[in-house]
Structure 1
Amino acid sequence: MSDPRDTLQSVFGFPDFRGVQRQVVDRVLAGQSTLAVMPTGAGKSLTYQLPAVMQTGTCVVVSPLIALMHDQLRAATAVGIRAATLTSVDENRAETRGRFLDGALDLLYVAPERASTGDFRELLDRGNVCLFAIDEAHCVSEWGHDFRPDYRLLRPLLDRFPEVPRLALTATADRHTRADILDQLGIPQDGLIVAGFDRPNIQYRIAPKDNATRQIADLIAEQPGPGIVYVPSRAGTEKMAAALAKTGRPTRAYHAGLDPAMRAANQAAFVASEDMVICATVAFGMGIDKPDVRFVAHAGLPKSIEAYYQETGRAGRDGDPAVAHLFWGAEDFAKARQRVGEVEPARQAGERTRLAALGGLVETTGCRRKLLLAHFGDDAPENCGNCDNCLNPPVGTDATEVARKFLSAVFRTGQSFGVGYIEAILTGQSSERSLMNGHEALSVFGIVGGEEAALIKPVARALQTRDALRANPHGGLEFGPGARALLKGEATLSLVVPPKRERRRRGGAASGAAANPVGNPLFEALRATRRELAQEGGVPPYVIFHDSVLRDMATIRPATLSALGTITGVGARKLDAYGDAFLAVIRQFA
């Protein structure tokens, strides 16, 4: 067998492996089953694509979404890998089956629903399978955040071919989930490889909501390139897209309620775009492999830290700088607690733990990355140097006394009023309503002033986040389990006073902006050529070459095909297909 590095260079255009890729590939080539936990952007797909090219037979790839399979199919075909999908929307299923039986496929992508059928097992019996790759393997675990029951049905298929190794891949699995994946897929304990969870190129930012639409508009003004905005509701995605379109950026909405044709068109437009912002529910994201997403924004609280990690991980898959910005409010935690109360009792404790972990992430004054990585069992330095708290350390203040006053006002007014009314009582603002209710005679009327008054809204938000206060169905605040300890002096409340951020002018370079030489005439000409080739081939621009490859072309300015072939990311197939076109552009600037 040839050296895997030779195949890596000739097919993919990479001079060497990254991280644990070589370790995983060596196990696969040795016929050993493996669970590889690798961060998004670490090159998980290469760990089965390369062995598939080197071995006789077909690698069967189980993937959860048709859109994801088709995206990976384009990328594999672009480097010369013989690949096909066998899905309900493919019209060439008979041809694909024939190619598999003829040994003319390196990769065959299928959904778990198809993989678990008897018809598919019989097809595999008649062919030659060299590897099973189970992508997004956390879906097999009930402890995972994207549990898919059909993944549980894969074990009989795998056991039918005991001599064929299994490679399970995921970016998001804590220790409990990892153990469950090993058990469910029949992978030995010594087959676990954990590469770590750190995505150092992503800058994490978290801030309280204060007109989320305006805040996100500011973000996209400073962040060039494609971006994803996660919005909690279907209607909210369309409203957000319409509002952000006023900034001048192309925007689209995506949610499960859209007409399927429009949903597909919006996704395709985003995948092909170099600057579009898509406003979507969490139904969007797993189905794309777009490497050049420059920012991910959350206009509300994600379901869990695992979901947050997966969703933010869709930014910067190409390794270039990217930003993940979460905007949260106390109402997000209130809604999340309501959802926890609606799940089956056996799961409620775990869901409350996940919600508490999110509360810790948004309220911490320390390094966001350290807390995030610790959730997955990773060690990290105290200061990562690339999150909002590390770059601009917040100031903490003891707000315990204001919190007690706020709780006292909530209690004395009958636990029936919202934040605005309680604030008015505490700061002594007389109104017809407070006079009618007799609340101006209360001991809490007007007891907060000066600098303390500015803490009322942040205190109210923090009390709801910590479940010391809950909103009733009519919008009034009532005590939650955390109120008693604060009132009795058994707990304190510290607040983060966020530093003021200057609004950057539109188009200004942000700290997380990709280091592309925008404005460099050669770089822009190379991008234009890439765009034309992508349109001709019906593929997204990044399938031709990543921005990093174009940057190297613009810097090195190779004069021959052989020199162009030495640039990382330029494999033999792409050199043959596109080399002359890009060399022609470079010669114009010689």
Structure 2
Amino acid sequence: MPEQPQILATLKEYFGYDTFRPLQQEIIHSIFEGKDNLVIMPTGGGKSICYQLPAILLPGITLVISPLIALMKDQVDGLLANGIAAAYVNSSQHPDEQQEIYQKVLDKEIKLLYVAPESLSFLDTILSQVKVSLVAIDEAHCISAWGHDFRPAYTQLGYLKSKFPETPVIALTATADKATRQDICDQLNIPEATQHLASFDRKNLSLEVRPGNKRIEQIYNFLSDKPNQSGIIYCLSRKTTEALAEKLNDKGYKAEAYHAGIDHQKRSQVQEDFINDTTQIVCATIAFGMGIDKSNVRWVIHYNLPKNIEGYYQEIGRAGRDGLPSSTLLFHSYADVVQLQKFADMSGNKEVQLAKLDRMKQYAESLSCRRKILLSYFGELIEEDCGNCDVCNDPPTFIDGTIIAQKALSCVTRIKEQEPIGTVIDVLRGAQNAAVYDKEYQNLKTYGIGNDIAWRDWQQYIIQLINQGYLEIAFHQNNKLKLTSLSKKILFEGEKISLAHLKELEKAKQPVVIQSDQGAAPDLFEKLRALRLELAKEAGIPAYQIFSDATLKEMEKFRPVSDEEFMQINGVGRQKMQNYGYRFIKEIIDFSSSKTKKKKKKSAKKGNTHKETLALYKEGLSIEEIAMQRKLAVATVFSHIMKLYNEGEAIDLHQFIDKQDIDAVKKAKEELDHPEGLKPYFEHFEGAIDYNTIKLALAILNQ
């Protein structure tokens, strides 16, 4: 292991720093001792130095796995500028260029080699001929189905520890909750890795959330006192980034759009101009900013609700990396939630994604200190409010919630932290249902001690306890509620707790606009009946026990499109809302969308809707963006794409699927001996690859 003076001299010579930031030195020493490490360090915390500095001093080569071409290029450019021999290999390069890099690796002229996970297999022969001193896996959360950005190509990386058993592995990510952290270590075959958790507290960032009405006007007002400051506006769709950039330019701001539909050269130019302060504002989809070290981003706006807290935290973390005061603003609307629910439907881990989206929605609607919520989500508990968020600056009316908290925490204790929020509330309220009686919870001391509080009020109080760090959700254990280290202060140490008055919470939410009677729609009624029958068969109960015909008729007339509106329908109670609400709302939204389109295109030929999809595809929109623009389900747009492909249209199916998934389906096809239908494949992958991806892969393999 190098001596400390040599390590500090290397830090100064190559990176220009005299001292390490918190945790960096500890991590670097651990690597030199040959140990595996998991590093959770927020954006701007200095993760890269943790493996780049050891790479310079270790005798062989350091292999860095990285998910994005832009990220690799930025890192390698920075290393070369610092005089460190580095290169990257990915699909954007010509084979001759790659061969030249391979030769440099063999000649020991390169210290760090960045590789996309998909390209690893091509390097096996080369890596067998050199000494790999360190393996670094950046954006390591991508390996975990519990994480917020799961990428199937990452799941093969566990073999690296088997291939290089004596080589230390360092996995790094800016955001990972407790479940994701353990899953990363298990999948990478480094279960004993030392976990280093840096503080997530970015005190210089102010946090603000606003309802998503008149967003453009609100953005103009927000920017009025920031005429020359750099900022990023994150949007859900490509079209929004372009429209927003255009409007900002019309107002005199230097703004550019950034998304995957723009050609590589243009994207690089936007990135370069932003880094060099030539462009002031970038309106971007979420891919922008990863690994880009621009310290003077003064503000970040989320035009749409993010799909989870991990992604949101990572994106706001791109502001204020120089430590100076910086602003963040999040808009939220129910329309965003519905759209993100549709996206979750297409994901390989739907239930986890929906639970995390629900947590994001709770953050946006919260009346607790926002910094407390973010920090407790990542397992960092603080007791004082931050004083630098909109809730702290304009606090709600509080009540003494100590007895309420004691009852809730006692109940979680009595059921041994084995149940999600719904069952906890049922026990508190003394519910007489199977969820309670099957496990004999009616015999617990806490059974029925909270029957004086309504179910939905209990739900809001428990969410506040989660927000304040007294409870946490175990997403990897079917969303079971767990106690935290703060819980005992309420239970055993006499600590008092304040909870927001629930009337304030209702005011903070967007008002529920009850739909007017929209008239009869026999087609919708039949769709709702068919859905009811499907759900009844799944549950093994008569259809009328789900909803009566009268309730379906009321849905047909009033067409509720949010949880709050749905609860106004006669015959919809709390439990049925939880069990079936999303499916019925989705059916109503899909029906309303298709009806709107029929009105607009009465003259169009029936059944030609997939041609509209083709036009948008040719504009470079993704399946999700087409779905958003056309107000269709993602699955519907996918069916259009497949139909267009089968009709001979020039559709490149490869852009909708990873090579890793194609290879996996090909292998399964051989192992299963060319099975009939999609179900054998789905069961073979245990749900890790969804039906649409399997269908795509088979279409490509059958070309």
Q: Given the two structures, how large is their TM-score scaled by the length of structure 2? A: 0.56
Residue type matched to 2:361 in 1?
G
Query: Residues 207-218 of structure 1 correspond to what in structure 2 (within 5 A)?
Result: 207-218=210-221
Considering Cα pairs closer than 8 Å and 6+ residues apart, tell me whether 1 or 2 has the greater RCO: 1
Q: Do the aligned residues in 2 keep the contact of 1:72 with 1:289 (CA within 8 Å)?
A: no
Deviates more, 1:142-151 or 1:256-265: 256-265
Asked if structure 2 preserves the Cα contact closer than 8 Å seen for 1:301 and 1:326, the reply is: yes
Superposed displacement of residue 221, structure 1: 2.9
1:372 aligns with 2:374: yes
Offset at residue 158 of structure 1 (A): 3.1
The structure 2 residue matched to 1:468, chosen from 540, 544, 564, is 564
Aligned letter for 1:109? Y
Paired position in structure 2 for 1:14: 17
Whether the 8 Å CA contact 2:144–2:184 is kept in 1: the answer is yes
For residues 571 and 375 of structure 2, the distance between their equivalents in structure 1, rounded to whole angstroms, comes to: 30
Output the amino acid matched with 2:309.
I
Instruction: Describe the shift of the 1:363–1:400 C-alpha distance in structure 2 as closer, same or farther (beyond 3 A).
Output: closer
Query: In structure 1, how many angstroms separate the alpha carbons of the residues matched to 2:576 and 2:369?
Result: 27
CA distance in 2 between partners of 1:275 and 1:394 (Å)? 39
Match of 1:2 in 2: 3
Please give the alpha-carbon distance, in whole angstroms, between the structure 1 residues aligned to 2:506 and 2:390.
28
Q: Deviations over 1:91-122 (max 9, x none)?
A: 5323322221122222111111112x0x3011
- Of 157, 160, 165 in structure 1, the residue corresponding to residue 160 of structure 2 is 157
Judging changes above 3 Å, is the alpha-carbon distance between structure 1 residues 237 and 26 closer, same or farther for their aligned structure 2 residues?
Answer: same
Does 2:425 correspond to 1:320?
Answer: no
Q: Determine the C-alpha separation between the residues in 2 that align with 1:59 and 1:372.
A: 34
Return the match for 2:105 from 100, 104, 120: 100
One of 355, 361, 364 as aligned partner of 2:363: 361
Aligned counterpart, 2:127: 124
Q: Is the 8 A contact 2:396 2:504 kept in 1?
A: no
Distance 2:291 2:373 in 1: 28
Indicate conservation of the 8 Å contact 1:140/1:147, yes or no: yes
Shift of 1:210: 2.9
CA contact (8 A) 1:132 1:166 kept: yes
Going from structure 1 to structure 2, the CA distance change for 1:148 and 1:261 (only over 3 Å counts) comes to same
- Three-state SS of the structure 2 residue aligned to 1:222 is coil
The residue aligned with 2:295 is 291
Aligned match of 2:230 = 226
Distance 1:342 1:146, change over 3 A: closer
Closer, same or farther in 2 for the Cα pair 1:114/1:484, shift >3 Å?
closer
Change (3 A) 1:400 1:176: closer
Describe the shift of the 1:94–1:352 C-alpha distance in structure 2 as closer, same or farther (beyond 3 A).
closer
The answer for the alignment partner of 2:44 in structure 1 is 41
Partner in structure 2 of residue 85 of structure 1: 88
Residue identity in the other structure for 1:94:
Q
Q: 2:245 aligns with which of 238, 241, 248?
A: 241
SS in 2 for 1:159: helix
Q: Which residue of structure 2 lines up, in the alignment, with residue 173 of structure 1?
A: 176
Contact 2:366 2:505 in 1 (8 A): no
Moved more, 166-175 or 187-196: 187-196
Residue identity matched to 1:382? E
Give, in whole Å, the separation in 1 of the partners of 2:505 and 2:391: 22
Tell me how far apart the structure 1 counterparts of residues 129 and 304 of structure 2 sit (CA, whole Å): 50
User: In 1, distance between residues paired with 2:342 and 2:572?
Assistant: 14
Shift of 1:275: 5.1
Whether contact under 8 Å (1:468, 1:482) holds in the other structure is no
**Matching residue of 1:144:** 147
Secondary structure at the counterpart of residue 240 of structure 2: helix
- What's the secondary structure of 1:189's corresponding residue? coil
Equivalent of 1:398, from 503, 507, 524? Answer: 503
Give me the identity figure in percent. Answer: 41
- Consecutive unaligned residues of structure 1, counting only runs of 5 or more, are 418-462, 472-476, 487-590
AA matched with 2:564 = A
Q: How does 1:546-585 map to 2 (within 5 A)?
A: none
Cα distance change of structure 1 residues 17 and 259 upon mapping to structure 2, 3 Å threshold: closer
* Pairing 1:48-59 to 2, within 5 Å after superposition: 48-59=51-62
**Shift in alpha-carbon separation, 1:415–1:330, aligned structure 2, 3 A:** farther
Query: Structure 1 pair 258/126, CA: closer, same or farther in 2 (3 Å)?
Result: same
**Aligned partners of 1:11 and 1:86: how far apart in 2?**
23
CA distance in 2: counterparts of 1:196 and 1:21, whole angstroms: 13
CA distance change for structure 1 residues 334 and 22 in 2, over 3 Å: closer, same or farther? same
Alignment partners' CA distance in 1, 2:93 and 2:293: 19
Matches within 5 A, 1:513-524: none
Farther-moved stretch of structure 1 (266-275 vs 300-309): 266-275
1:111 aligns to what?
A: 116
Give the residue type in structure 2 aligned to 1:269: D
Question: Residues 121 and 208 (structure 1 numbering): CA distance in 2 closer, same or farther, change over 3 Å?
Answer: same
- The reply to whether residue 311 of structure 1 matches residue 407 of structure 2 is no
Partner of 2:33: 30
SS in 1 for 2:224: helix
User: What secondary structure, in the 3-state scheme, does the structure 1 residue paired with 2:297 have?
Assistant: coil
Letter matched to residue 3 of structure 2: S
Cα displacement (A) at 1:24 = 0.6
Q: Distance in 2 between matches of 1:30 and 1:219?
A: 50
Q: CA deviation at 1:209?
A: 2.0
Secondary structure at 1:8 match in 2: helix
**Partner letter of residue 28 of structure 2?**
V
Q: Distance in 1 between matches of 2:292 and 2:383?
A: 32
Q: Which secondary structure state, in structure 1, belongs to the residue aligned with residue 355 of structure 2? A: helix
Contact 2:387–2:393, Cα closer than 8 Å, also in 1:
yes
Structure-2 change in CA distance of 1:280 and 1:52 (3 Å) = same
Query: Mind listing any 5+ residue stretches in structure 2 that lack a counterpart?
Result: 398-500, 521-559, 578-703
The residue aligned with 1:582 is none
Question: 1:368: how far off?
Answer: 0.4
